[in-house]
Chains A and B, each alone.
Chain A
Amino acid sequence: MNVAFFLISLGCYFGAVFCHLMNLINQRVWARQWGNLLTLSGFIFHTLALIVRLWHSGHIPIANLHESLSFFGWAIILFYLVLEYKYRIPSLGAFVLPLALVFVFSASMLPKEIQPLIPALQSMWLGIHTTTSFGGYATFAFAFVAGIMYLIQENQLRSKKIGLFYYRLPSLEVLDDLIHKSLVFGFPLLTIGIITGSLWANTAWGSYWSWDPKETWALITWFIYAALVHARFTIGWRGRKSAYLAIIGFCFVLFTFLGVNLLLKGLHSYA
């Protein structure tokens, strides 16, 4: 049941990405409307899939790689829908939805059966630690996408080669603001994610911090975003520089999330 819902939502997301790319190319109002309708329906099915999965397994469905990727994609879509409803930033969907689709699609390639929760993960911390971490990751995905959009638009304005993107992308101010908002929202989430992880580690492994690769990389990521937030508030780091850092930061997020699981062995290898 949950797999069926999940696959329906994946189909909707494919359609949504297609419509949003159409809208990016020819700016048709209907393409955007269809894109958002499909995103919303995909999101509803995805949410149902998560709820059914939670019901059947009895734990938060973020306990293996399929579940994490799926939840990551879900969180990005959730934030996108909120942003679209509140701010209607032009062409945001065409940039952020493909990213979400990549995660949801990779999730669909992995074994989707519900596995019994291994004893190490049976804790109330699981829910808090994973949702805050992935919430943080998802907001950083927006900083990343806004960073890319900023660099494209800035390049158009600076090189004075007025092209397709000049007309389609929002203003620099809006993009810079989106980077800023994502950081202000995502940074505390990541911080809480790390702190709860550390508290949980103390009860599960007997020590707050054990330099497990996941912990190390999460800390590096945290420092990057801390530097970005700090520089913004003190010396007015903004625009192109924050855009670059937001992109680099997200690469670290991806490595912390996927690279560590797939390449390095450590306490966090549950996938």
Chain B
Amino acid sequence: MEVIVFGLNHKTAPVEIREKLSFSKSQISYAHKECINSQIVQELMILSTCNRVELFAVVNSTEESVKALKEFLAKFHHISPQILDDVSYFYTQKEAIRHLFRVACSLDSMVIGEPQILGQLKEAYNQALEDRSIGSWLTELVERSFHVAKKIRTETGICKNAVSISFAAVELAKKIFDKIEGKSVLLVGAGEMSELAARHLLSNGVTNIYVANRTHERAEELARQFNGQVLPFASVKENLELMDIIITSTSAPHFLFNKEEVQKTLHRRKNRPLFFIDIAVPRNVDPAVSKCSDVYVYDIDDLQMVVNSNLLERQKEAKYAETIVERFVEQFWEKLNSRNVVPTIVELTQKFEAIRQQELKKAFSKLPNLSDAEREVISCLASAITKKMLHDPICLLKKKSNCSNTAYYIQAAKELFNLDGFKRP
């Protein structure tokens, strides 16, 4: 029994191929049943997202199964197996476990740390459970990967910092105001990006949104969407002191806010901080405004820079996450292997016990006049001999349970002690 992964992802295959190979929900269900029924694999779980199509399987013979899976996939999606050869990968044993853990932790994602993949994996898992294509091995492995993902999420910062411009704006607001609940936001101009940023602010607890736009209808439309109020474009400056966060995105060719005005506003609001998010190009806020203390001005480039450094931070955390994943891979691998050895050890002791019983019976039938105490001594003697003889082989098997050639030792033990009976010549 071996765990394998066969598939392709955004790193190995372009979107033209990924889209051809992706599975719909009903297709997954069909494929699950088909592969299990035709005995290509023992257990199967198909994960199909826009960035990856992967088949996690438990098989008896790796090479045959990979070949069969490849053929199945090619036939299923009507593409030639040669194309699949170029874009797919397969991992076995430890590598397969590592791959699943990394996928679950979003270390293999296009944007490291993005949270969707775990949900998609859970969906795939539930589908496989429903189709009964998944057995004890994969169940344990996948459940374990969820555990690892949770651990990574809480112990590292790979999904902490914003990686989109509009989220970065919200994050910056939180670094300035801490809690943005109850803060007032002013949208000057109505662009797509400012709308997005406003939406994120809303979902983070901002309640007062004001919209000012040159065309009144558009302002009203936006205000309705955000449950906010319309502010006449001309009265923006008088009302500036009520605002905490100002998002500008007009196409005005000149600066809408200059240093002197903002300075005056600050006095009126007792120096409570102001945060300008200037998404417009050309810029709407004079860069000199940022010289006022307690005023922070971020233009589109600044926000991009924050995103970039957030990405770097995630990569740093990802390195640490990899070491944690590695620890879990080792752990799981050991467990799997010790499980490989355990049946052999059980068979071994059972066989020796059977021999002991048999020989004792023979001996006792030849010596019918023994007292109970004497029988006891002989029985103990036999037991001690078998135990001592088995001690070293069992220790060796346990010790070898997590090396690469475990299977070899298991095979050797089976053949040396003829554990499979007379099935093997």
Mind listing 12 A-B residue pairs with CB under 8 Å?
A29-B155, A30-B155, A153-B175, A158-B290, A166-B175, A173-B176, A173-B178, A238-B270, A238-B271, A239-B271, A239-B294, A240-B293
Give B258-297 as 1s and 0s: 1 = Cβ < 8 Å from A's Cβ atoms: 0000000000011111000000000000000010011010
Whether, in the assembled complex, B227 has its beta carbon less than 8 Å from a beta carbon of chain A, the answer is no
Chain B residue contacts of A236, Cβ below 8 A: 269-272
Kindly list 9 other residue pairs between chains A and B, CB separation below 8 angstroms, not including A26-B320, A166-B175. Answer: A30-B155, A157-B296, A160-B305, A160-B306, A162-B309, A173-B177, A173-B273, A236-B269, A239-B271
Give A50-73 as 1s and 0s: 1 = Cβ < 8 Å from B's Cβ atoms: 000000000000000000000000
**Structural contact, A172 and B175, CB atoms closer than 8 A:** yes
**Structural contact, A171 and B176, CB atoms closer than 8 A:** yes
**Structural contact, A173 and B270, CB atoms closer than 8 A:** no
Give A140-169 as 1s and 0s: 1 = Cβ < 8 Å from B's Cβ atoms: 000000000000010001101011001100
Chain A residue contacts of B179, Cβ below 8 A: 173
Given A239-B293, A239-B294, verify A171-B177 contact (CB < 8 Å): yes
Chain B residue contacts of A174, Cβ below 8 A: 178
Return the contact of A239 from the options B174, B273, B320 (Cβ within 8 A): B273
Whether, in the assembled complex, A88 has its beta carbon less than 8 Å from a beta carbon of chain B, the answer is no
Chain B residue contacts of A162, Cβ below 8 A: 305-306, 309-310
Chain B residue contacts of A170, Cβ below 8 A: 178
Closest 6 CB pairs of A and B: A236-B270, A173-B178, A171-B178, A162-B309, A236-B271, A239-B294
Given A162-B306, A239-B294, A240-B293, verify A157-B176 contact (CB < 8 Å): yes
For chain B, the bracket of interface size reads 20 to 34
CB nearest neighbor in A for B293: A240
Chain B residue contacts of A237, Cβ below 8 A: 271
A147 to chain B minimum Cβ distance, whole angstroms, is 14
B377 to chain A minimum Cβ distance, whole angstroms, is 56
**How far does the alpha carbon of A177 sit from the alpha carbon of B302 in the complex, in Å?**
27
CB nearest neighbor in B for A171: B178
CB nearest neighbor in B for A236: B270
Whether, in the assembled complex, A230 has its beta carbon less than 8 Å from a beta carbon of chain B, the answer is no
Chain A residue contacts of B271, Cβ below 8 A: 236-239
A212 to chain B minimum Cβ distance, whole angstroms, is 39
A6-40 CB contacts (< 8 Å) to partner B: 26-30
Whether, in the assembled complex, B313 has its beta carbon less than 8 Å from a beta carbon of chain A, the answer is yes
**Structural contact, A160 and B302, CB atoms closer than 8 A:** yes
Whether, in the assembled complex, A235 has its beta carbon less than 8 Å from a beta carbon of chain B, the answer is yes
Whether, in the assembled complex, A241 has its beta carbon less than 8 Å from a beta carbon of chain B, the answer is yes
Chain B residue contacts of A29, Cβ below 8 A: 154-155
Chain B residue contacts of A239, Cβ below 8 A: 271, 273, 293-294
Whether, in the assembled complex, B184 has its beta carbon less than 8 Å from a beta carbon of chain A, the answer is no
Chain B residue contacts of A27, Cβ below 8 A: 157
**How far does the alpha carbon of A27 sit from the alpha carbon of B178 in the complex, in Å?**
19
**Structural contact, B175 and A241, CB atoms closer than 8 A:** no
**Structural contact, B294 and A167, CB atoms closer than 8 A:** no
B213 to chain A minimum Cβ distance, whole angstroms, is 28
**Structural contact, B177 and A240, CB atoms closer than 8 A:** no
Chain B residue contacts of A26, Cβ below 8 A: 320
